[in-house]
Structure 1
Amino acid sequence: MDVDYIDSYSYPRFLGPQFPFPSPPRPPGGFPGSPGGFPSFGGQQPPTTPPPAFIPQQQLATPFAVDPGAISMCLFRNTFIWLRNGSSFWFFPIFVGPRSVAGFRWNGRFWTIFGIDTRRIVSFTCF
C-alpha cells in the first residue's frame, strides 16, 4: 500500500520544553506607579522640577553630526535640542557615549527616559 501523505498524529509533537525555565533576573525599578518606582540610570533620578518655560533661540546649525565631547558640557543641565527631523525638546542628559546621549526628555508633563544618536542632533544649547 502506497502512502501519499504523512500522518502527523503518528509522530510525537513538539510541545516545547516540558520543564520550567527560571525567569530572567529583572533590574530594580520599574515604571512610574509600580512598586519599583521610576526607572533610573545607575541610581540617577530624573530632575525634580520642569525645564525652563521658554524655548530658546536656535543656535547656528552645524552641517555635521554633533560632537559628543561638546554635548558632554551639558551633562546634568537643562538642554534644549533640535533634531534633523525638525523636532525640538527639553532634555536632561546624564550619559554621553561615543555616538549617543542618554538622559531624560521632557514630554510637557513629566520627564521620561530617552536616548538618541548624536548624529540626529542638529544643534543644542544648555542652561
Structure 2
Amino acid sequence: MDVSYIDSYSYPRLLGPQFPGSPGGFPGSPGGFPGSPGGFPGSPGGQQAPTSPPPAFIPQQQTATPFAVDPGAISLCLFRNTYIWLRNGASFWYFPIFVGPRSVAGFRWNGRFWTIFGIDTRQIVSFTCF
C-alpha cells in the first residue's frame, strides 16, 4: 500500500480546482494555493520547505500505539522537525505544516532534500518532534 498521499477529504481542500503549474497550483508555484502566496493554506507567510536539513540523529522510538495517531497530538509538532514511524516499518524526518482530520501534509526529508509529502494519520504508529 502506498502511504505517500493526502487523503480524499483533505486533498480537495488543499488543492482546490487548480492543477500544478497553473495559478493557484502547488506550493512554490506562482500563486501557491488559493488564498496564500506560494504555500499551504493557514501556514504563516506561505510556508515553504525548511531551508536546513533535519537533525543528524535518529531518535529512539517511543511506545507505539495500536490506534491511529490523534490529529490534535501531531498538531503540536507543526512547523517543527518531527521523526515519524509508519505501520509499514518506514521511518523518516518530517516537517508538518498542515493537519487535517485524518491527514498531515508537509515536507519529508529524503536524505538530500525536502520533498512535499502527505500521510494518512492512520498509517502513523508514533512520532516525536523537536
Q: Same fold (TM over 0.5)?
A: yes
Match of 2:68 in 1: 65
Per the alignment, residue 44 of structure 1 pairs with 47
Mapped contact 2:27–2:40 kept (Cα < 8 A): no
C-alpha distance in 1 between matches for 2:74 and 2:26: 28
**TM norm structure 1:** 0.71
Residues matched between the structures, number:
101
Match of 2:5 in 1: none
Q: Give the % identical residues.
A: 79
Residue 82 of structure 2 corresponds to residue 79 of structure 1: yes
Cα distance per residue 1:64-118 (max 9 Å; x no partner): 0000000000000000000000000000000000000000000000000000000
**Cα separation, 1, equivalents of 2:27 and 2:63:** 37
- 1:108 is aligned to 2:107: no
Higher relative contact order (CA 8 A, sep 6+): 2
* Structure 1 stretches of at least 4 aligned residues deviating more than 6 Å after TM superposition: 29-32
Q: Which structure: larger Rg?
A: 1
Counterpart-to-counterpart distance in 2, 1:74 and 1:107: 19
Give a deviation string over 1:9-63, Cα, whole Å, max 9, x none. xxxxxxxxxxxxxxx771357798xx85x97424211111000000000000001
